[in-house]
């Protein structure tokens, strides 16, 4: 099926919460996509998104799935609902792009991929930030050998302080949430994009505080009982032999830590926040006197720090291009591998043993210098 700016793919948004407006506005930047409407298990949530973005609200999720104009369902429900909503959408004949983590467990993720294969539809998944100028600039540097063969890496996932801005961050402290599954996907996907698949994982985790206090303006909850670890450390051994030291934490509120750094035989590479599409990438050779900022391989999608920079959508375009035979970068296979790695952090912590990773993925294809999304 060929989509174009004169015949765009019809997009249906399921899940009209905190991130949904950034999807609707972000998707509106791409001529290949046209949002037809939104739906939520709570009609008032769909009506609210409809009012703030001028897209239609369907009367139910089933009504959205019954619309033959919807080619792709963008599933931005809570993590525990990702599988159920994706199954329904695939059964209705839709392609699906699902937010991260793709499922609350690896078993769910595997079943989602099986359901997509059985339905003959394409399943894609966030995160897609590695398609942005920042991660692609880092990838080009590694591929060109700027730091030589990568030996090690560090990644520090620190608290997004969701209690101070999300009106209901409950899901972040329940199964499917926590710093490992909520923010970990950005970091581990960025590392797999640079270093290839992970072979094994060791780790430890704990709960920081059993109850979290919400202070966000307009909050719908005041207190949350924590059900998942909120501070974890892990070692990742990549199939290439590279070793990464990771921390994932909702208990580190303030710090001087980098986001991600890669250490090679000839130099080091410093990445920007992998939760963002654009931002500086720096490098320093062993014999350089200072760090240098690399020119981006293509222009940033928006000014770093501007609200536009947080808008989602490249992964949905990537999926629609893949329907026409282009490489599928933000694929379900990549998301499942990342989910398996992240789930292994908790398994390793519980069993006090390192965990072998079964799935293997190739590094995703690079994004062309002129992406023409
Ligand atoms: N909020 C962010 O900044 C952010 C950023 C990036 C990614 N995400 C991801 O996006 C997803 C949604 O996050 P959010 O912050 O918008 O959450 P949210 O809780 O604010 O919104 C989720 C919405 O999904 C709806 N929903 C839940 N189960 C449903 C079901 N079975 N059928 C239909 N609707 C259902 C809820 O009613 C709610 O309106 C999560 O996977 C999250 O990890 C969020």
Domain membership flag for residue 321 = no
Domain membership flag for residue 3 = no
The domain in which residue 251 lies consists of: 132-302+332-356
| Same domain as 281, residue 140 | yes
Q: What is the CATH number of the domain that holds 256?
A: 3.30.360.10
Position 305 scores a pLDDT of: 78
Position 303 scores a pLDDT of: 80
Mean pLDDT of 314-335: 97
| Same domain as 159, residue 99 | no
| Same domain as 217, residue 100 | no
The residue whose CB lies within 8 Å of the most ligand 1 atoms, and thus the one to mutate among 75, 76, 220, is: 76
Residue 279 has pLDDT above 70, yes or no: yes
Instruction: Answer yes or no: is the C-beta of 18 below 6 A from any ligand 1 atom.
Output: yes
Q: Separation of 16 CA from ligand 1 center, angstroms? A: 7
Domain membership flag for residue 325 = no
Mean pLDDT of 165-174: 94
Q: What percent of the chain has pLDDT over 90?
A: 94
Q: How far is CA 348 from CA 104, 181, 187, 302, 336, in A?
A: 17, 15, 19, 39, 18
State pLDDT tens for residues 189-213.
999 999 999 999 999 999 999 999 9
Mean pLDDT of 341-349: 97
Q: Contact, 39 vs 99, CB < 8 A? A: no
Locate tokens 């926590």: which residue? 178
Position 371 scores a pLDDT of: 66
Domain membership flag for residue 370 = no
Of the residues 125, 140, 164, which one is the last residue of a structural domain?
Answer: 125
Instruction: Answer yes or no: is the C-beta of 128 below 6 A from any ligand 1 atom.
Output: no
| Same domain as 253, residue 352 | yes
Mean pLDDT of 176-186: 95
Residue 304 has pLDDT above 80, yes or no: no
| Same domain as 99, residue 227 | no
Position 302 scores a pLDDT of: 84
Of the residues 69, 103, 125, which one is the last residue of a structural domain?
Answer: 125
Position 176 scores a pLDDT of: 86
Residue 173 has pLDDT above 70, yes or no: yes
pLDDT-based confidence at 184, cuts 50/70/90?
A: very high
Mean pLDDT of 142-154: 98
Instruction: Answer yes or no: is the C-beta of 338 below 6 A from any ligand 1 atom.
Output: no
Mean pLDDT for all residues in the chain: 96
The residue whose CB lies within 8 Å of the most ligand 1 atoms, and thus the one to mutate among 52, 77, 108, is: 77
The torsion angles phi and psi of 151, rounded to 5 degrees, stand at -110, -45
Domain membership flag for residue 324 = no
Residue nearest to atom 11 of ligand 1 (CA): 76
Q: What is the CATH number of the domain that holds 69?
A: 3.40.50.720
Q: Separation of 20 CA from ligand 1 center, angstroms? A: 8
Following DSSP, what letter does each residue of 213-230 receive, concatenated? E---TT-S-SEEE--S-S
Position 97 scores a pLDDT of: 99
State pLDDT tens for residues 40-91.
999 999 999 999 999 999 999 999 999 999 999 999 999 999 999 999 999 9
SS3 234: strand
Mean pLDDT of 137-143: 98
Q: Contact, 10 vs 95, CB < 8 A? A: no
Position 301 scores a pLDDT of: 87
State pLDDT tens for residues 79-120.
999 999 999 999 999 999 999 999 999 999 999 999 999 999
| Same domain as 234, residue 188 | yes
| Same domain as 175, residue 227 | yes
Residues 244 and 242: their CA atoms lie apart, in Å, by: 7
| Same domain as 76, residue 154 | no
| Same domain as 146, residue 110 | no
> What one-character DSSP code corresponds to residue 287?
T
Position 220 scores a pLDDT of: 94
pTM: 0.97
Instruction: Answer yes or no: is the C-beta of 42 below 6 A from any ligand 1 atom.
Output: yes
pLDDT-based confidence at 372, cuts 50/70/90?
A: low
| Same domain as 194, residue 159 | yes
For residue 79, the ligand 1 atom closest to its alpha carbon is 41
Domain membership flag for residue 367 = no
Domain membership flag for residue 344 = yes
Domain membership flag for residue 248 = yes
- The domain tally of the chain equals 2
Residues 54 and 35: their CA atoms lie apart, in Å, by: 10
Mean pLDDT of 295-321: 90
pLDDT-based confidence at 309, cuts 50/70/90?
A: confident
For residue 80, the ligand 1 atom closest to its alpha carbon is 28
The answer for 119, left when phi > 0, alpha when psi is -120 to 50, beta otherwise, is alpha
| Same domain as 212, residue 70 | no
| Same domain as 201, residue 270 | yes
Of the residues 125, 149, 183, which one is the last residue of a structural domain?
Answer: 125
Position 166 scores a pLDDT of: 94
Q: How far is CA 219 from CA 22, 24, 51, 79, 160, in A?
A: 19, 23, 20, 20, 16
């Amino acid at each position: 099926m060929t989509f174009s700016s004169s015949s765009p793919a019809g997009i249906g948004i399921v899940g009209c919460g905190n991130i949904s407006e950034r999807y609707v506005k972000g998707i509106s930047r791409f001529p290949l996509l046209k949002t037809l409407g939104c739906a939520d298990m709570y009609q008032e949530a769909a009506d609210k998104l409809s009012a703030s973005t001028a897209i239609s609200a369907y009367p139910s999720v089933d009504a959205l799935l019954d619309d033959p104009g919807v080619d792709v369902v963008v599933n931005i429900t809570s993590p525990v609902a990702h599988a159920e909503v994706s199954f329904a959408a695939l059964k209705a004949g839709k392609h699906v792009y699902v937010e991260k983590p793709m499922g609350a467990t690896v078993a769910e993720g595997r079943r989602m991929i099986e359901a997509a294969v059985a339905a003959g539809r394409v399943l894609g998944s966030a995160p897609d930030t590695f398609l942005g100028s920042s991660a692609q600039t880092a990838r080009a540097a590694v591929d060109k050998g700027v730091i030589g063969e990568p030996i090690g890496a560090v990644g520090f996932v620190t608290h997004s302080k969701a209690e101070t801005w999300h009106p209901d961050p409950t899901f972040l402290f329940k199964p499917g949430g926590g710093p490992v599954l909520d923010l970990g996907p950005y970091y581990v996907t960025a590392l797999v994009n640079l270093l290839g698949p992970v072979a094994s994982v060791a780790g430890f985790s704990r709960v920081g505080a059993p109850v979290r206090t919400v202070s966000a303006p307009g909050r719908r909850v005041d207190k949350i009982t924590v059900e998942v670890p909120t501070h974890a450390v892990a070692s990742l051994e990549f199939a290439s032999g590279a070793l990464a030291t990771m921390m994932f934490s909702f208990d580190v509120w303030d710090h001087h830590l980098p986001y991600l750094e890669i250490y090679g035989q000839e130099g080091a590479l410093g990445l920007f926040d992998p939760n963002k599409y654009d931002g500086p990438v720096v490098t320093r050779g062993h014999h350089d006197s200072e760090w240098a900022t690399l020119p981006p391989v293509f222009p940033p999608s928006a000014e770093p720090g501007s609200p536009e920079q947080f808008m989602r959508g490249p992964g949905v375009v990537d999926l629609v291009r893949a329907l026409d035979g282009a490489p599928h970068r933000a694929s379900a296979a990549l998301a499942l591998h990342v989910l398996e790695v992240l789930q292994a952090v908790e398994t390793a912590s519980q069993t006090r043993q390192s965990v072998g990773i079964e799935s293997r993925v190739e590094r995703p294809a690079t994004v062309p210098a002129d992406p023409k999304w």
